[in-house]
A and B are shown apart, each in its own frame.
Chain A
């Protein structure tokens, strides 16, 4: 599976600001990347599928204008949480290239 990195590993921001999270595939060229969200003591829920060179596909209930996804290259996808609010505080995890390719996650805390 792909070796995946995420940056930052954790971020604290004020309510109303935007936060960008990067997901990089270090050894695999990915036309598709997946973004998951995990609330405390809960399971991973797929938010969206990031497609290189085209629009992301969002799961039902996920606001595409709030969670902006850009997949500009085969090794980088970014998730921007716009106008973040405390309820957006969560652990965001990306996945690349199959079942082994999960990133280490990014913990977002919105104050």
Chain B
């Protein structure tokens, strides 16, 4: 099955700086890669996603890049704000398992004011 690894596990940045979180996946058949933000005690919230036929996607301060050949994708947050502090998860959709997602281990992002 799919295996998703995520780094770093924790990330501390100063407000206004950029944050980058990286993930690798193992199943070359995976074709959909969402990113989630999870605040304490809440369910995960989809913040951006990318499909395998696209190399980069941007939505305001958030961008995601995908290198299909290398099987890795990254989340970029620019001009970070304290409210960006949360746990972020990458995920990959198993091509052969419907809508089932395999999640990375998570990154705890702390934005210091």
> Which residues on the B side are within 8 Å of A104 (C-beta)?
42-43
Q: Does B45 contact A (CB under 8 A)?
A: yes
How many A residues have CB within 8 A of the partner chain? Answer: 23
Q: Would you list which residues of chain A between 5 and 41 have a CB under 8 Å from chain B?
A: 6, 32, 34, 41
Contact with B along A72-111 (1 / 0, CB 8 A): 0000000000000000000001010111101111010000
Q: How far is the CA of A103 from the CA of B44 in the complex (A)?
A: 8
Minimal beta-carbon separation of B8 from chain A (angstroms):
14
Q: Does A56 contact B (CB under 8 A)?
A: no
Q: How far is the CA of A42 from the CA of B89 in the complex (A)?
A: 10
Q: A43-B106, A46-B100, A105-B41 are in contact. Are A100 and B46 (CB under 8 A)?
A: yes
Minimal beta-carbon separation of A91 from chain B (angstroms):
8
Q: How far is the CA of A104 from the CA of B42 in the complex (A)?
A: 5
Q: Is the CB of B44 within 8 A of A93?
A: yes
How many B residues have CB within 8 A of the partner chain? Answer: 22
Q: Is the CB of A32 within 8 A of B44?
A: no
Q: A43-B89, A99-B34 are in contact. Are A32 and B43 (CB under 8 A)?
A: no
Minimal beta-carbon separation of B44 from chain A (angstroms):
5
> Which residues on the A side are within 8 Å of B63 (C-beta)?
none
Q: How far is the CA of A103 from the CA of B100 in the complex (A)?
A: 15
> Which residues on the B side are within 8 Å of A46 (C-beta)?
100-102
> Which residues on the A side are within 8 Å of B49 (C-beta)?
99
Name A93's contact: one of B34, B43, B46, B99 (CB within 8 Å). B43
Q: Is the CB of A99 within 8 A of B41?
A: no
Assuming A93-B44, A102-B44, what are 10 further A-B pairs, CB within 8 angstroms? A4-B43, A34-B99, A41-B106, A43-B103, A44-B44, A46-B100, A99-B34, A99-B49, A99-B99, A105-B41
